[in-house]
Every structure is written in C-alpha cells, then in structure tokens.
Structure 1
Amino acid sequence: MDLYLFLLAFTLFWEMSTCIQCFACEAQRSDTNKLPLCEGFDYSAQFIADCPKSTGCVKKETRLISLGVTTSTVERGCAAQTMDGYQEKINGHWTHVTKIHEVYEEECKEDSKEFGKSTQATHCFCRGDLCNKSEIMRSGLALVAALVLLLVTS
C-alpha cells in the first residue's frame, strides 16, 4: 500500500518533457510568424518556445555593413531539422512522417565573406534547453577541454 501511495505522489510531481525549449524571437515582424521581437529580448517566458520538431536551438546574427557603419540584428529559435512532405510506406499505406535529422554540430559558423558582400551572418547551433540565450555562444565541449588542460598543466 505504501508503494502505491509513493508511486501516486511521484507521478503527481513528475514533470513530463516532450521536447526541447529554445528562446525564440525574430528580427522584424512578419505575417506568418507571431514571435516577439528580439529587440526587447529579456530572457522572460514570453521568449520561450517548445521545439517538438528539433533537438537543438539556433541563434543567428546578421550584420549589414554600409558606408563604414555596421547594423546588427539577432534572431533566436528552434533549429530546422525536418523536411515537409516526407512519407513512408507503413502497413502497405503511404503515411506522412516527421523525421528529425541531426544535421548540425554544436558550433558557430560564419557565412563566407565574399568580396563586395554587404551582409554577414553567423549561425550558432546548440543542444539543451534554452541554450541559445547568450550573447556569445560557445560549445560546452571547448570549455571542458580548456578546464582539463588547465588542470593537467597545473
């Protein structure tokens, strides 16, 4: 009987998590996406989005360079990891299936700097709830490696 009460109490306090959460905001208002603007980004709950079709988050910084002046915008959200229209034959019938593809490394990549290109973009990908919050995103692995190196050399 005590075991049943324990299991009942345990299930009441167990919080089920079905997907990763990322900070999500857009650089400018659009008709198709109703996310808040990144201009007012403050880490509050209004900027948190569930990402059921992703295992990671993204932060994109775009810089426009014109006449020696640089203007930057930031966007945050769920990393795009699915393709629309994917179907599989299940029990003899074609069925729409959502597959999440692992296509990103945890890193920041800068668009190639082509001569004469006035915009530059940096895409940072990470895994873990709300990992796209920082001003400068760094891989956790690099931090661990630096700490291990520091301990070994001491």
Structure 2
Amino acid sequence: MSKNTIANVLQCYKCSVSIEKYVLNNKTISTPLCFKFQESNNYAVECPYSTMCLKTISILHLQNGQRQETITRGCAQQKNTTQIFRNKQWEQEHLVQEVYDEGCKDINTDRLAGSTEKKNCYCRGNLCNPSSYVTLDINVMIITFLWLWPYINLFDIVVSYLK
C-alpha cells in the first residue's frame, strides 16, 4: 500500500461512452466522449489515488450477428477508504492498494441478448492509456508466426541458394 504525494500524482487519459458530469471545487467538470478521443490535455486527468491507468474495451455481440464496441479510459480504481478513530473522533483514511498486474485481462460473460467481451488493460506511467496502448496476446503472436512461416522458409532457401 502506498500514498501518492502532490509531486508524483499520476496522470491518465479519461473518457467515457456517455457524458459524465461531476462537481469538483464548485466547478462542473464533464468527462469527454471516447469516440472523439485525442491524445491531448483535454482528456488528461490527475489520479491521486492510483498508480495505474485503465483502458477498458467492451464488445457486445448482438443476436443479429452485429457487434458493438466501446472504449473507456481512466484511473485504475485502487483507493481503499477506512475509518480510523484518532484524537477522540473518526476520520477517513485513504490508501492506494496495488491490486492489478500490468497488462490486459479478458473478462467474458454470456447474456440472454448476446455475449459480451470485456478487456481491462492496466498500465503504469503518465498518460499510458491512449488508443495506441496494446499488449500482444500469445494467440496473435502464434497466428502471425504461422502466417509468416512460408515466407521464412522461402528466405532460407534463397539464402542457401546464394551461398
């Protein structure tokens, strides 16, 4: 468990599927939409209670064969709030817990209307959750290798012929 200080507050990109509004210091703040996402300061937020950023990709497979994909970005939920009895009164104490591994994790669910795929990708470092943040899946690497295999063999034949 750790606490972030003002000097090292993490920044992540934040956007959502629908407009979210909240009030902070008497100021209304709107979360921008992900379908308009750009790697700019308009999407950057401070994450004082996180050490990781999150990008979530959700895919809904509809019964008619279509699929609907959505993406959200933000701070990883790591804040744990407890009540501490101190100086004859109760106070809230906020701790940041390290509960996620860096990388992507698939979460698949089946529903009556269709199946849903969800992938949560956690990363460390300022603004590490843009659209270009991708981790390679072992299945993708194997398929790519098998697809390139005939070309690799052809390259070996050409090299041995030129010797």
Alpha-carbon offset, residue 103 of structure 1: 0.6
Provide the residue aligned with 1:89 in structure 2.
Answer: 85
Alpha-carbon offset, residue 45 of structure 1: 0.8
Q: 2:12 aligns with which of 9, 17, 22?
A: 22
Query: Aligned-pair RMSD on alpha carbons?
Result: 2.2
Provide the residue aligned with 2:54 in structure 1.
Answer: 58
**Could you tell me which amino acid in structure 1 is paired with residue 39 of structure 2?**
Y
**Could you tell me which amino acid in structure 1 is paired with residue 132 of structure 2?**
E
CA separation of 1:96 and 1:115: change in aligned 2, threshold 3 A: closer
**Could you tell me which amino acid in structure 2 is paired with residue 108 of structure 1?**
C
Q: Residue 118 of structure 1: SS of its match in structure 2? A: strand
**In 1, distance between residues paired with 2:100 and 2:122?**
7
Q: Structure 2 length normalisation: TM-score?
A: 0.67
Alignment size in residue pairs: 123
Provide the residue aligned with 1:41 in structure 2.
Answer: 37
Provide the residue aligned with 1:109 in structure 2.
Answer: 105
Q: Mark the structure with the bigger radius of gyration.
A: 2
Provide the residue aligned with 1:124 in structure 2.
Answer: 121
Unaligned runs of 5+ in 2: 1-5, 23-28, 137-163
Identity of aligned residues (%): 33
Alpha-carbon offset, residue 70 of structure 1: 1.3
Q: Structure 1 length normalisation: TM-score?
A: 0.70
**In 1, distance between residues paired with 2:97 and 2:125?**
16
2:13–2:130 contact (8 Å) kept in structure 1: yes
**Could you tell me which amino acid in structure 1 is paired with residue 14 of structure 2?**
A
Structure with greater strand percent: 2
Q: Residue 61 of structure 1: SS of its match in structure 2? A: strand
Provide the residue aligned with 1:10 in structure 2.
Answer: none
Alpha-carbon offset, residue 135 of structure 1: 3.5
Unaligned runs of 5+ in 1: 1-15, 140-154
